[in-house]
Structure 1
Amino acid sequence: MTILNDDRPDAANEKAQLAADMLQGLRRFAKSVMVISCECDGRRYAMSATAVSEVSLNPPIMLICVNRDATLHTPLLAGADFAINMLHGGQEEIARHCGGERQGEARFDTGDWQISDFGPPILADAQAYFICRQEQRVEHGTHSIFIGEVVAAYAGPDIDPLVYVDGKYLAPVNGSRSEQ
């Protein structure tokens, strides 16, 4: 266990070790895989992400964390609304394409992508999606936190999330079940 103490002479080494320990801890943090999508000036953007969270149900608010180096960051910075598309177990290829295997418009070659009534592209065959009207941005560290009010939501009948843990995509065994 690394404990940070900025007063010691080797504080820089401790910060590096703390970051390494944190990364190893986060590799054990299983999260559903999402693809964040938006449209700006006639161009579509998409990025795989796990740094997504619900904030509130009343009003319905979600947040996403986006690295400032990501291509998606620029249109979000310009105020673009966004969609959060939750992938199901059979959509690993989409996660990989939007996670860096493809660039630009080629990220939309796989899956049933449609333009929503609210602007952002949605993955119509996603397990679920949330369309968010951007309300606020917070800059912190290497990332920006974009907060949006949910203006539309969809949840498919099956619960079968694509999960990312320890650097791998996983689909739960026999994870599909219909909602009742």
Structure 2
Amino acid sequence: MSSSTALPPTDDDTTLVDGLRHAMRRLAASVSVVTLRDAQGAAGATVSALCSLSFDPPSVLIALNQSGSMHDRILAVDTYAINILYADQEDVSRTFGAPNRTADCFKPGAWEDIMGAPCLIGAQSTLVCRRAAELPHGSHRVIVGEVLWTRSRAEVNPLLYADGGYRELSAL
């Protein structure tokens, strides 16, 4: 059995942030696209910070950068969708992750409106949520969504992101 020697805590914020960034790159996460429709039209952004929160009431949370284009828009709508991407939807992730995305980002994939939110047909899973609470922290805001509707594919093969690249779930 091997062990690693941990370095003592440091007051150097740069070292701590670099260490956190390095550690979080090793956390494999499903890739999701959060989408909404408001008076300006349809919008969306790729996120990897998605977490199940509660089954009573059914709730999830996402984290959005407060300086991102989706931040103010999601706070102005009641419902939005979380589209958990399937392994073959990397193009959707890249399009919605681009810094200067426009309504053209909805060109990859097939979309339908459900409860007022754009939902990706063929996603691994889709959740339509009502914004229930939010909490600012540092550069981000945690958004709690009460789940109103779900749809999932039978086969399980989500698009994953780890160590700066897209991955696929290996067969067990």
Q: Output the TM-score relative to the length of structure 2.
A: 0.91
- Please report the RMSD computed on the Cα atoms of aligned residues, expressed in angstroms: 1.5
**Cross-structure match for 1:50:** 48
Say which of 129, 132, 152 aligns to 1:132. Answer: 129
Map of 1:41 onto structure 2: 39
Cα offset, 1:81, TM superposition: 1.8
Q: Which runs of 5+ in 1 are unaligned?
A: 5-10, 176-180
Q: Structure 2: which 5+ residue stretches go unaligned?
A: 1-6
Identify which of 146, 165, 177 aligns with 2:162: 165
Q: Secondary structure at the match of 2:86?
A: coil
Instruction: Give the conservation status (yes or no) of the 8 Å contact 1:2–1:21.
Output: no
Judging by fraction of residues, say which structure has more strand: 2
Distance in 2, matches of 1:173 and 1:26, equals: 20
| Corresponding position of 2:85 | 87
Partners of 1:94 and 1:174 in 2: how far apart?
23
CA shift digits 1:114-140 (9 cap, x unpaired): 111x11110021011100011111111
Distance in 2, matches of 1:112 and 1:158, equals: 19
CA shift for structure 1 position 74: 1.4
SS at match of 2:45: strand
Q: CA deviation at 1:82?
A: 1.3
Instruction: Give the match for residue 123 of structure 1.
Output: 120
Could you state the TM-score of these two structures normalised by the residue count of structure 1?
Answer: 0.87
| Equivalent-residue separation in structure 1 for 2:50 and 2:18 (angstroms) | 22
How many residue pairs get aligned? The number is 166
Cα 1:44/1:38, change in 2 over 3 Å: same
Asked if 2 retains the 8 angstrom alpha-carbon contact of 1:113 and 1:122, the reply is yes
